[in-house]
Amino acid sequence: MHLSERNRSCSDWPASAANTEGKLMGDQRGSKQSANSILDRLADEEAIVVLRHLLEKHGELRPEAESIAVHFISSQSAEDIAAEVSDALTGIDLDALNGRAGRHSWGYVEPSEAAVELLEEAIEERVEDMKRRLGMEMVASAQTLCGGLIEGLYASRKPNSDGALGWAPDFPAEHAGFLVQEFLELSRYKLTSAERIKFIDRLVSRAPEWKDMFHRAMHA
- For residue 58, the tally of other CB atoms under 10 A from its CB is 10
- Cα–Cα distance between 126 and 50 in angstroms, integer? 27
- Cα–Cα distance between 4 and 193 in angstroms, integer? 80
Tell me the pLDDT of the chain (220 aa) as tens digits. 554 444 444 444 444 444 544 444 455 555 555 556 887 787 878 777 888 888 788 778 777 766 666 555 555 789 999 999 999 999 998 888 888 876 766 677 788 899 999 999 999 999 999 999 999 999 999 999 999 999 999 999 987 767 899 999 999 999 999 999 999 999 999 999 999 999 999 999 999 999 999 999 998 7
Domain boundaries, the chain: 3-67, 76-218
pLDDT tens for each residue of 84-132: 999 999 999 888 888 887 676 667 778 889 999 999 999 999 999 999 9
Residue 24 φ/ψ region, left for φ over 0, alpha for ψ in the -120 to 50 degree band, beta for the rest:
alpha
